[in-house]
Amino acid sequence: MEQKYKRSDKRTFLGIKANGPVFITSLLVISVLVVTTLIVGKPMEKYFSQIQSTVSNNTGWFFILMVNVMLLFALFLGFSKFGKIRLGGKDARPEFSKKGWFAMLFSAGMGIGLLFWSVAEPIFHYNSNPLTDNTDKIEAAKSAMGITFLHWGVHAWAVYAIVGLALAFFTFNRKLPLTIRSIFHPLLGDKIYGPIGDAIDIISVIATIFGLATSLGFGVQQVNAGLSYLFNFELNTTVQIVLIIAITGMATLSLILGLDKGIRRLSEWNMRFALILLIFVIVVGPTVFIAKSFVQNLGHYLNEFFELSFWTESYKGVNEAKHWQNSWTVFYWAWWISWSPFVGIFIARISKGRTVKEFILGVLLVPTLLTFVWMSVFGGSALYQELIGNTVITEAVNENVATAIYKLLEQYPFAFLSSLIAVILVASFFITSSDSGSMVVDTLTSGGRHDAPVGQKVFWASMEGLVAGILLVGGGLTALQTASILTGLPFALLLIVLCFSFYKSLSAYYDDNFKKGR
């Protein structure tokens, strides 16, 4: 029999539709962090670097273990007896088509990051990574794509899948509010409506804000680099702050239009623009090399999967103060974990009617394969230039990583038009990340309600832009990475308990609805 839980999504605070303790505490913690960064100024970059190194050196192994556990748990759920459970009950049907569903998954999950890193990351790893001797250019290229696939593959989407699936199940099947605290009901009972539940949602809000700020910071750097390349805009932090304000304003319009008319339609246009740019590079670039390298990249990733997945740089790091993984693998895992409340809630909102198996396979495989194609086209094309002796992209990466994609497009015809499309695409992904993120943060701070005023969502969109801007001022790329790692760690600890609680509730639901023949 379906269990009915008390709902807590009708709270108001000082006349606004919000959960006061979560709203105020989250805002206070975020404000203290960003004001401190603003007051201290440039010296914060040094502090951010020290904090990142300390946390990564001591907890990197935990992040690596954590994402592997999440992947194994996701696969278990998808292929176990729980796979036939339908989100929303046996009569529920999907609200969105698969095309619309996949478009929103892809846009919300990785849009900005893919554009920022698809050219730059393979080039970084090609020129320097601890797994190969970069004097062997062929091995260096293979290793570069293998590492890139690891960072953008199924591990990231497994984290999203577990959080999203758990939220969808507790919201649509257990009739609980759409907040992270709801997943802990099997363990905490009605205590989720008290201070413990508030603390869980506060951690989720802070992780979401800083995870989003990291992506928005990357995105605005790349928009600025594109405008500088196309129209000779100044390339500096001041311009980036202005761009954040302008693009956040556009996100506000999308918020006003709502989930179906705003986010869904913009996500689908993102996919169209992305497809145009992808096909363009395939056609005018090294087409045969791209096709061959995609197949080989996939094979190399699968062949090295377990070793790469569990590699912790433990022996190499014994006598070295600087660990390569701190800036790459550990940062990525922390980034994906800090994004998981945002992406998880967003995926849950759009996934009613899907079965658990359909959800797991859809979230794990389709975005991952699309990501691998994208990385092979753009990263592979950049590596091709290096292998034939054209080092212009390496030079761009070393000078300003945000310009890498434009330097690649410069190697082909119609560079101005393709770069313009890239700038529009980055800005559009910025908007979808901002507006969907604002919707999610407002959901968390309002106790899971869906009817909060647009003004509250606009407030959180503005906060996301403000945090991104101040982190850029106070420490640039290092600040963005440190913010993700610091906020990802406490949420990673929550994920351990979340998995246990989710499994407990799934088992009870299965016994009530399937085992007894209902």
Q: Integer distance in angstroms from the first to the last C-alpha of the chain?
A: 9
> Mean pLDDT throughout 190-214?
90
Q: What is the pLDDT of residues 441-495, one digit of tens each?
A: 888 888 777 666 777 878 888 888 888 888 888 766 677 677 778 888 999 999 9
Per-position b or e across 40-68, b if 16+ CB within 10 A of its CB: eeeebbebbbebbbebbbebbebbbebbb
User: Which tokens go with 368?
Assistant: 């991952």
Cα 146 to chain centroid distance, Å, stands at: 20
Q: What is the pLDDT of residues 79-123, one digit of tens each?
A: 999 999 999 999 999 988 888 788 777 765 556 778 889 999 999
How far is it, in rounded angstroms, from Cα 146 to Cα 125? 10
Q: Is the pLDDT of residue 300 over 50?
A: yes
Per-position b or e across 174-188, b if 16+ CB within 10 A of its CB: bebbbbbbbbbbbeb
Q: Is the pLDDT of residue 131 over 60?
A: yes
Q: Where in the chain are the domains?
A: 31-109+119-129+139-229+243-308+339-513
Residue 363, pLDDT score = 92
Query: Sign of the C-alpha dihedral, residues 369, 375, 381, 385?
Result: negative
pLDDT class of 225 with cuts at 50, 70, 90: very high
Residue at 243: amino acid letter:
L
Residue 507, pLDDT score = 95
Measured in degrees and rounded to the nearest 5, phi and psi for residue 174 equal -100, -5
Residue 476, pLDDT score = 67
Q: What is the pLDDT of residues 236-260, one digit of tens each?
A: 989 999 999 988 888 777 777 665 5
How far is it, in rounded angstroms, from Cα 474 to Cα 278? 35
> Mean pLDDT throughout 391-395?
95
Residue 19, pLDDT score = 83
Q: Going by C-beta distance under 8 Å and a sequence separation of 6 or more, which residues neighbour residue 312?
A: 60, 61, 64, 325
List the Cα angle 145/110/156 in 5-degree steps: 65
Q: What is the pLDDT of residues 4-46, one digit of tens each?
A: 444 444 555 555 677 889 999 999 998 988 888 878 877 777 7
Are the CB atoms for 388 and 226 separated by under 8 Å?
A: no
Residue 134: which H helix or E strand, with range?
Answer: none
Name which residue leads in pLDDT, 50 or 373: 373
Residue 7, pLDDT score = 45
Name which residue leads in pLDDT, 60 or 257: 60
How far is it, in rounded angstroms, from Cα 207 to Cα 490? 8
How far is it, in rounded angstroms, from Cα 210 to Cα 139? 36
Q: How many CB atoms lie within 10 A of CB 485?
A: 27
> Mean pLDDT throughout 154-183?
95
State which CATH number among 1.10.8, 1.10.700, 1.25.10, 1.20.1740 fits the domain covering 31-109+119-129+139-229+243-308+339-513: 1.20.1740
Q: What is the pLDDT of residues 138-158, one digit of tens each?
A: 999 999 999 999 999 999 999
Residue 510, pLDDT score = 95
> Mean pLDDT throughout 284-310?
96
pLDDT class of 313 with cuts at 50, 70, 90: confident
